[in-house]
Amino acid sequence: MQFPIAQQLIEGLPLGILPLMLAIVLGSSVVVYVLGKRAARAATILVTAIELGLSIILALAIDPSIQISDPNAGMTCMWQFTMGRITVDETETVLQILLGVDGISIVMVVLSNLVVFIAALCSNHIHKSEGLYYAVLLLLQAGLIGVFVSVDLIGFFVFWESVLIPMFFIIGRWGEEGCQHAAVKFLIYTQLGSAILLIGIFILYFAAMPHTFNMLALRSAGLPVNVQIAFALTVFVGAGVKLPVWPLHNWLPWAHVKAPTPGSVILAGILLKMGGYGFLRLGVWMIPEGFARISIPLAALAVFTCIYAALTAMAQTDLKSMVAYTSINHMAWVLLAVAVGTSVALQGAVFMMFSHGVIISVMFIVAGQLKYSAGSREIPMVRGLMAGAPRLSSVLILASLATFGLPGFSGFIAEVLILFGSVRVYIWTAFITFGVFITVGYLLWTLNRIVFSDPDPEKKVSEAPWSDLVAPILMLVPVVLLGLLPDLVLRLVTPVALFIVGGGP
């Protein structure tokens, strides 16, 4: 369903909405750098709110339906910027930034803008180099948007890489003690993954005749299966580091524990989703035949990663570290969905990324706030939170219930879609539900130890101020809303999922 008012608003803009969104955040990053600390935060919240509003308007304006014969594969709001031309093997190649959105990418754009907006709201405890911090935050937002709207591999890779440097500084400059080591580890892992992905991009470029970086052209180029498989393996490494999947996950717990709360929110809320989106866009959307050839090992690895991460999370004593491994656990569901490649599972993958993005953001905000309210994030050190901080406890309880997929919350819808879409292909993928059972166990155990235990008379627990609870409460709204009205997302995603699999289930 399209909304004519939203279409009219977009048509009345002086510039295409996609380049306009990028221009606003890039220009604003310069402005907030020179502003005072209070003005910088207020300006960043305003800019991120505008970006969120524009992305919602775009989601309401686009027609998600796709014709099988559509040469643009459902991409709309196309915009192109030519950087130059090169000649390779007597073929002229256009180096360009090509932008466009379909039902999947617009969902991710809305999520990225929502997460960055919430990160700006919960940045009230950042008191060092505020102007630089908010400028870096906006640069990060520009990179995230660019990844999700790029329809050309050159532009995609430029934006993919441009996210790493701002995130490196957010972890390394504004994190906790030992954050520099975590930031370097994050950069090394992600850069190595990106280098391998770049090799894959050039494999595709030289295999396509005529040579091109255009994703739409590559999708219909009839590439040899061995080339598709080679590229799929490079996507596994490049996107697998971001997702992350075992054994490429070792950077994530370090980065989460040492990053400031807004950094953890962005890491889990949207940066990990770059990995899932990479598997979707570069994998099943662009080279479906090659990706299908490695589906069994990918599905098996997804099941193993989910159970491994759940067991590891159960052993953590730092709440932030536990939530970090919970992220790995949930993102394994996304890998399973793209591995089996059914339309139902792919719908579940996008729904899981959006759902997990908002739920896990709440969990990290609460984990960060726990240090201010109880003096520690160590689970054995916190007692009687409900008695001293009932508001914070209520948010933690709701977020925990949503995390393990209680019916009525968005996570339940995502898990059901992926499970139904997977078992019809490989019945043994049902073993991934063991990860859910383990997650339910350790989250309820954690709530019992932190929230419902008797207070420690020697340790004072203070209530979180409302100013610190606005962000997580706002994030809980879509968690409940999508649990009751999943079609708000599925109406955008379903046509693309059906298009990818050729109209089948």
How large is the angle between the packed helices 17-34 and 130-149, nearest 10 degrees? Answer: 170
**For the residues of 179-242, what is the DSSP string, one character each?**
HHHHHHHHHHHHHHHHHHHHHHHHHHHHHSSS---BHHHHHTS---HHHHHHHHHHHHHHHHHH
Q: What is the mean pLDDT of residues 115-121?
A: 95
Q: DSSP assignment, residue 69?
A: T
Q: Please calculate the CA angle 281-284-286 and round it to the nearest 5 degrees.
A: 60
| 320 domain-assigned | yes
Range of the domain at 431: 294-505
Query: 153 pLDDT band (50/70/90 cuts)?
Result: very high
Domain assignment present for 451: yes
Taking the C-alpha atoms of 120, 123, 124 and 125 in order, what is their torsion angle to the nearest 10 degrees?
Answer: 180
Is residue 336 assigned to a domain?
yes
How many independent structural domains does the chain possess? 1
Specify the pLDDT at position 357.
94
Backbone angles phi, psi at 211, to 5 degrees: -60, 135
**Predicted pLDDT of residue 71:** 66
Band of residue 90 on the pLDDT scale cut at 50, 70, 90: low
Mean of the per-residue pLDDT values for the chain? 88
Let me know if residue 300 belongs to a domain: yes
Number of residues in the chain: 505
DSSP 378: B
The two structure tokens encoding residue 60:
């309401």
Domain assignment present for residue 288? The answer is no
Task: Give the confidence band of 69 by pLDDT, cuts at 50, 70, 90.
Answer: low
pLDDT category, 493, cuts 50, 70, 90?
very high
8 Å CB contact between 169 and 133 = no
C-beta neighbour count of 428 within 10 angstroms: 12
Please state the rounded mean pLDDT for residues 474-481. Answer: 94
Average pLDDT over residues 213-225: 87
Q: Which pLDDT score, from 0 to 100, does residue 504 have?
A: 46
> Does the pLDDT value for residue 303 go beyond 90?
yes
pLDDT digits (tens, 9 = 90+) for 403-454: 988 899 999 999 999 999 999 999 999 999 999 999 999 999 999 988 888 7
- Residues paired with residue 487 on neighbouring β-strands, in sequence order: none
The three-point CA angle 278-284-290 to 5° equals 110
DSSP string, 13-44: SSS-HHHHHHHHHHHHHHHHHHS-HHHHHHHH
**pLDDT band, residue 241 (cuts 50/70/90):** very high
Q: Is residue 402 part of a domain?
A: yes
Sort strands 91-101 and 76-88 into parallel, antiparallel or unpaired. Answer: antiparallel
Q: Does the pLDDT value for residue 349 go beyond 50? A: yes
Residue 156 lies in a domain: no
Grade residue 9 by pLDDT with cuts at 50, 70 and 90: confident
Greatest pairwise CA separation for the chain in angstroms: 79
- The structure's pTM equals 0.93
In a domain, 456, yes or no: yes
For residue 93, the one-letter residue type is T
